[in-house]
C-alpha cells in the first residue's frame, strides 16, 4: 500500500513538473513574440506620422549619437544643437520609434530646447533581438541620462523628461535613481509593468492567463532583477521635483482607473505633482493624448475609412490607402497647443 502511494505521489509530481515545464515554454515563446524587435523603416514604408526625411532638415538638423544599455548599442539623435534652454529627453511608446514624436520634437526645438530622442533596445537603429519587456524603457532612459552627463556638450544643460506610455512609465520610474532632473511630463504612463502585463493578458485570453502569470513574472525577474519592482509613484515621491501626469478617461491601453499612474494618484505625496485628466468631450485616448481635438476627430474618420477601404478595395496597403483618401499628416499629427504651451511654461518654471 505504501509503495502504491509513493508511486501515485511520484506520478502527481511528474505531471505537475510537465505542466510547469509546458507553461514555462509557452510563456517564453509568448514573451519573445510580444516583445520582439521593432524594425527600422525603409524608404518604401509609409507612415502616418512625419519622419526626418519628410521635414525641413535645414531647420531641424540632427546629430546621431550612440550609447550603451544592457550590453546593447543604442541609437539617439540630438536636435536643436544651438538651443540652451535645457535638454528635453523624449522616451518613446512601445511599438514606435524615435521618429514617431517628430511634431513634439519640432515644438520643443522651436521653443529653444535641445532635444534628445532615442530608439530603445530592439528598436530601429538600436541593437537587440527584441525590446525585452515593459521595464526596459526605464533602463534605457537611465543609460541615455548617463550618456548625456558624460557629454561635454550636454552635461551642463537642465534636464527635462517627456515620455509616452512605455516612456510615460520610464520618465517617472527613473526618478528612483539619483539623476539630476528638473521636471517630468508623463503622457498615458503606467505605474508598473507587472500590473499592465497581467491586466492586458487577462483581457486577451481570460482568467487562464493567471496560470502563466508566475512564469511571466519569473522571466521579468530573470531579465530585470530588482529593477522590475520599480514603480512610477515611488519615483515621483522620491524626487519631489515638478511632475505633470497627463491621462485620458477613455485610454484603452493603460486604463485610467487601474494600471495608470493616474489610478495611483492617492499614493502620490510629492506636492509638486500636477495632474491633467481629460474626460467627457475632452477625451483624447491613448495614442493621441497630446494631440488636438481636430487630430483626434481626424483619426476617428481615418480609422473608419481604413477599415472600409480594406474591405471594398481588397487591399491592405497603407500607402495606397493614404493616396486614395488624401491622408493629411499635418492634421493627423497636430499637437494640443494649449497643453504643449503649458508644458513649455512648466519646464521654463522648473529651469
Q: Measuring CA to CA, which residue among 107, 105, 102 is closest to residue 51? A: 102
State the residue for C-alpha cell 487577462: 202
The reply to whether 299 and 269 lie within a common domain is no
The reply to whether 169 and 257 lie within a common domain is yes
- Domain assignment present for residue 25? The answer is no
The reply to whether 220 and 299 lie within a common domain is no
Question: For the chain (length 351 residues), average pLDDT per consecutive 10?
Answer: 57 52 54 78 83 91 96 97 96 93 97 98 95 94 98 96 98 97 98 83 59 69 87 97 98 96 98 97 94 96 95 91 95 97 97 83
Task: Quote the pLDDT of residue 46.
Answer: 87
36: which residues sit within 8 A by CB, 6+ positions away? Answer: 122, 130, 131
Q: Where does 75-192 have alpha helices with state H?
A: 102-110, 136-150, 166-173
Determine the Cα–Cα distance for residues 302 and 322; give it in Å rounded to an integer: 9
Q: Of 238, 267, 290, which residue is a domain's last? A: 290
Task: Quote the pLDDT of residue 19.
Answer: 47
**What total of structural domains would you count in the chain?**
2
What CATH number is attached to the domain comprising 99? 3.40.50.1820
- Domain assignment present for residue 330? The answer is yes
- 92 in Cβ contact with 167 (< 8 Å): yes
What's the domain range around 85? 54-290
The reply to whether 319 and 199 lie within a common domain is no
- Domain assignment present for residue 162? The answer is yes
Let me know if 181 is exposed, middle or buried by CB neighbors in 10 A (0-12, 13-18, 19+).
buried
Determine the Cα–Cα distance for residues 160 and 69; give it in Å rounded to an integer: 20
The reply to whether 74 and 191 lie within a common domain is yes
Helix (H, G, I), strand (E, B) or coil at 173: helix
Q: Is the pTM of this model over 0.75?
A: yes
Determine the Cα–Cα distance for residues 123 and 134; give it in Å rounded to an integer: 14
Amino acid at each position: 500500500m505504501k509503495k502504491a502511494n509513493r508511486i501515485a505521489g511520484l506520478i502527481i509530481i511528474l505531471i505537475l513538473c510537465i505542466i510547469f515545464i509546458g507553461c514555462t515554454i509557452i510563456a517564453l515563446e509568448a514573451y519573445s513574440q510580444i516583445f520582439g524587435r521593432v524594425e527600422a523603416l525603409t524608404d518604401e514604408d509609409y507612415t502616418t506620422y512625419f519622419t526626418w526625411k519628410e521635414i525641413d532638415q535645414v531647420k531641424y538638423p540632427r546629430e546621431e549619437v550612440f550609447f550603451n544599455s544592457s550590453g546593447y548599442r543604442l541609437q539617439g539623435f540630438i536636435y536643436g544643437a544651438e538651443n540652451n534652454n535645457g535638454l528635453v529627453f523624449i522616451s518613446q511608446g512601445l511599438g514606435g520609434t524615435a521618429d514617431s514624436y517628430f511634431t513634439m520634437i519640432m515644438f520643443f526645438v522651436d521653443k529653444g530646447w535641445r532635444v534628445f530622442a532615442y530608439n530603445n533596445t530592439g528598436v530601429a537603429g538600436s541593437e537587440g533581438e527584441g525590446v525585452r519587456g515593459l521595464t526596459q524603457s526605464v533602463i534605457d532612459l537611465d543609460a541615455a541620462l548617463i550618456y548625456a552627463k558624460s557629454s561635454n556638450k550636454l552635461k551642463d544643460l537642465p534636464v527635462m523628461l517627456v515620455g509616452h506610455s512605455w516612456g510615460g512609465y520610464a520618465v517617472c520610474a527613473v526618478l528612483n535613481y539619483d539623476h539630476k532632473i528638473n521636471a517630468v511630463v508623463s503622457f498615458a504612463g503606467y505605474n508598473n509593468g507587472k500590473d499592465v502585463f497581467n491586466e492586458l493578458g487577462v483581457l486577451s485570453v481570460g482568467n487562464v492567463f493567471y496560470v502563466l502569470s508566475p512564469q511571466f513574472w519569473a522571466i521579468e525577474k530573470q531579465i530585470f532583477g530588482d529593477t522590475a519592482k520599480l514603480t512610477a509613484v515611488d519615483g515621483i515621491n522620491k524626487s519631489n521635483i515638478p511632475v505633470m501626469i497627463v491621462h485620458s478617461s477613455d485610454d484603452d491601453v493603460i486604463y485610467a482607473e487601474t494600471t495608470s499612474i493616474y489610478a495611483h494618484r492617492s499614493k502620490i505625496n510629492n506636492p509638486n505633482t500636477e495632474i491633467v485628466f481629460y474626460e467627457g468631450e475632452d477625451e483624447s485616448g491613448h495614442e493621441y493624448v497630446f494631440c488636438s481635438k481636430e487630430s483626434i476627430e481626424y483619426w476617428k474618420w481615418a480609422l473608419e475609412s481604413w477599415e472600409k477601404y480594406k474591405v471594398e478595395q481588397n487591399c491592405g496597403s497603407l500607402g495606397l490607402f493614404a493616396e486614395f483618401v488624401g491622408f493629411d499628416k499635418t492634421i493627423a499629427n497636430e499637437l494640443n497647443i494649449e497643453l504643449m504651451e503649458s508644458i513649455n511654461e512648466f519646464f521654463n518654471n522648473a529651469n
